[in-house]
Structure 1
Amino acid sequence: MIGTETVAHASDATTVVDSETAEKSELGTCPWQLTADGVLHVGSGELPEATKPYSDYVTPFFAIQIREGADQNNLKFKTISFDGKVTTPVNASFLFANFLNDTPQIKNWQNLDTSKSTNFAFMFLSSQQNSIDVSKFDTSNATDMHGMFNGADPVKGYENLDTSKATDVSGMFANYNDNNDNPVSLDLAKLDVDRVNEDKSTTPFGASVAGGFSGMVGGANINSLNIGDWKPQIPLTGMFDGSMSSNLTELTLSPQDDLTGSKLLGPDTTEDKDPAKYTGNWENRQDQYIKHGDPNKKTYSTTDLIGKYNGQLAITENETYQWEPQVTPGNPVTIHYIDQDGKSIQADSQLPGGVRD
């Protein structure tokens, strides 16, 4: 025993340990088998809920971390493979959170049946997975999705998650970035946020905090965010709280997005690699080729943009805003490739226009 952890030992590299012969075999109702290549194969059944052996919740896989001999730091499995239909419990919170030591990488995500789960809170908190694929997840019964991808690296398929019953998405993409800490794009336009409410939420330690949209992208390293097509029933209060706003250069909004209290900070030219590159204002993307300072061009300070999206103005369609550059680009030039008879011989291409000073 190591603390509350039960250990199963493999005597040599060719030994196969399974749920019948290990000292501790429980993984809900899922049978499992360790093969000599270091893969923990998980068969059909239902996974148990995450446990809280210390101050933090940890994945149930921690309870069967198989090690070699007396070296308690030498994990015997480096990969977890869902080989059968593996069902997640109703409470799937923290299910893949807080792996300790060397993190086993999970494959065959498509075999996870998440249809009965309602609580996805902090499901991947600090999971240290190199790749997470939720494109086959059925989240039609999900009500709590707060912190679901907190600290996760890029996730495949999040765009199509069913959030129609979700009431709490606070911190859902907090601290989101890529494997190299580079800014990434988030396209959340398809998420249904109609039922998100202002009820309180909780931290991983159980403390009561603001819920709703609070900190949804807090600490996230994103350069483009699309929340067009949203129809929230409450303001996006605190949504950008703690976000790395100096990288958020493009923002798509729906007519019903209410930025009141959202804590959108906007262009921070002092932190940009080239402080003189941007004016410090936002421009509508459709006006990007209108010269800076032209009286026909409308620009917005961050305060102005928040004031425009206050849930009261009659905005009728999605709009995309971006940081206004100091130097206005020229209109792009489209090149058509045709033969002497006017027939196309290859696809059109586009070149950027000249710089307008």
Structure 2
Amino acid sequence: MAAYFSYNNQTVKADTTIGIQKMLTINNDLTANKSTTSLLLTPLTDAIVSSGKDGTCTWDIDSDGKLTIHTGVLTTDQGSWISYASSITSVYVDKGVSILGTGKDYGPFSGLTNAKTIDVTNLDVSNAAALKAFFRNDSNLIQIIGLNTWNTSKCTDMSYLFLGDNSLTSMDISKFDTSNVTNLNYTFSGVDFTKSDPNEIKNWNVSKVDTMSYLFNKTIFDSLDLSNWNISSVTKMNGMFSGDSNIDKVKNIADWDTSKVTSMISMFSNTKETDLSFPKITRTS
């Protein structure tokens, strides 16, 4: 972490060649031996290098690349901080921040390709009808903190939510309320479940989901238990498991009720040969 000091009413960066402790020692000597205080070194917080507004929320980025979002309501589009994406290494949401949903192809935290951690513990999504593409294409994102605190009961669209997030090792989504979700297109496309826990979605309620196209497209996993999923409302499963090398590790999908499915185009394209059957299917196109 960079350290900054106030020197003669100017903000200066600590000289790392002599170290912060030595600078503080010099400061103490100056205090003890000089009558003037014009040379006193006062530690400051990390300097703000960028700032702006998104919806009614103000935000700032400090010299360490931490994006902090302050109280208010975010817009439903990609965050206005996207112009500074290359410098953002972490995200923290203050208390009192909410969002009413996302309606665009890129959500508020999408495209933050250098961010390693995003803390959304304080983000209120309880009135969000869509969480579409919320973290889309955050390719270096390792940890999303606070997803287990989200109230997603009103959400109907979780498509593209984690698309392309292939570095994630922690994203507790086991408590997501998916009872009203109808769209799961591309939700986990490109996610590496060998780095996280795929069992977090084992008991998701997907009974109202209409489309699951490309849901697990190019997803990596050692095992995937979807035996508790009720997909009886699903009509589209195009490319759902396309590009998945371990398709034989998906448990009990042959027992799914696919009676309403009208399209399975490329559902298992570019997967290794295995014996999968859907005896309840009526027709495909």
Q: Report the TM-score range of the alignment, normalised by the length of the smaller protein.
A: 0.5 to 0.7
Q: Which residue of 1 aligns with 2:162?
A: 124
Does structure 2 retain, via aligned residues, the 8 Å contact 1:51–1:60?
Answer: no
- 2: distance between equivalents of 1:12 and 1:239? 44
Q: Secondary structure at the match of 1:110?
A: helix
Q: Secondary structure at the match of 2:148?
A: helix
- Once the two structures are TM-superposed, the CA of residue 94 in structure 1 deviates from its matched residue by 0.5
Coordinate RMSD, CA, aligned? 3.9
Does structure 2 retain, via aligned residues, the 8 Å contact 1:50–1:59?
Answer: yes
Q: Secondary structure at the match of 1:132?
A: coil
Q: Which residue of 1 aligns with 2:14?
A: none
- 2: distance between equivalents of 1:41 and 1:125? 21
Q: How does 1:272-311 map to 2 (within 5 A)?
A: none
- 2: distance between equivalents of 1:140 and 1:131? 23
Counterpart of 1:58 (choices 101, 106, 109) is 106
- 1: distance between equivalents of 2:62 and 2:122? 24
* TM-score where L is the length of structure 1: 0.49
- 2: distance between equivalents of 1:105 and 1:26? 24
- Residue 216 in 1 paired to residue 240 in 2? yes
- Residue 19 in 1 paired to residue 70 in 2? yes
* TM-score where L is the length of structure 2: 0.60
- 2: distance between equivalents of 1:39 and 1:241? 36
Equivalent residue letter for 1:131: S
Q: Secondary structure at the match of 1:106?
A: strand
- Residue 95 in 1 paired to residue 134 in 2? yes
- 2: distance between equivalents of 1:113 and 1:106? 16
Equivalent residue letter for 1:214: N
1:105-150, Cα deviation, whole Å (9 max, x unpaired): 2123211111111011111111232233321000111111111111
Counterpart of 2:215 (choices 172, 195, 199) is 172
Closer/same/farther in 2, CA of residues 240 and 83 from structure 1, 3 Å limit? closer
Point out the more displaced range, 86-95 or 143-152: 86-95
- Once the two structures are TM-superposed, the CA of residue 79 in structure 1 deviates from its matched residue by 2.0
Closer/same/farther in 2, CA of residues 244 and 42 from structure 1, 3 Å limit? farther
Closer/same/farther in 2, CA of residues 42 and 137 from structure 1, 3 Å limit? farther
Structure number with the higher helix fraction is 2
1:263-308, Cα deviation, whole Å (9 max, x unpaired): xxxxxxxxxxxxxxxxxxxxxxxxxxxxxxxxxxxxxxxxxxxxxx
Q: Secondary structure at the match of 2:223?
A: strand
Q: Which residue of 2 aligns with 1:111?
A: 149
- 1: distance between equivalents of 2:220 and 2:234? 24
Counterpart of 1:158 (choices 183, 201, 212) is 201
The percentage of aligned residue pairs carrying the same residue is: 26
Q: Which residue of 1 aligns with 2:264?
A: 237
Closer/same/farther in 2, CA of residues 40 and 241 from structure 1, 3 Å limit? same
Q: How does 1:69-80 map to 2 (within 5 A)?
A: 78-80=116-118
Gap runs ≥5 in structure 1: 30-36, 66-72, 179-183, 198-211, 263-357
Structure number with the higher strand fraction is 1
- Once the two structures are TM-superposed, the CA of residue 186 in structure 1 deviates from its matched residue by 2.3
Equivalent residue letter for 2:148: Q
Closer/same/farther in 2, CA of residues 86 and 153 from structure 1, 3 Å limit? farther
- Residue 227 in 1 paired to residue 253 in 2? yes
- 2: distance between equivalents of 1:26 and 1:50? 12
- 2: distance between equivalents of 1:84 and 1:7? 15
Q: Secondary structure at the match of 1:43?
A: coil
Gap runs ≥5 in structure 2: 1-49, 77-88
- Once the two structures are TM-superposed, the CA of residue 228 in structure 1 deviates from its matched residue by 4.3
Q: How does 1:197-208 map to 2 (within 5 A)?
A: 197=235
1:72-104, Cα deviation, whole Å (9 max, x unpaired): x9x6x642223346316212111111227x536
Equivalent residue letter for 1:237: M
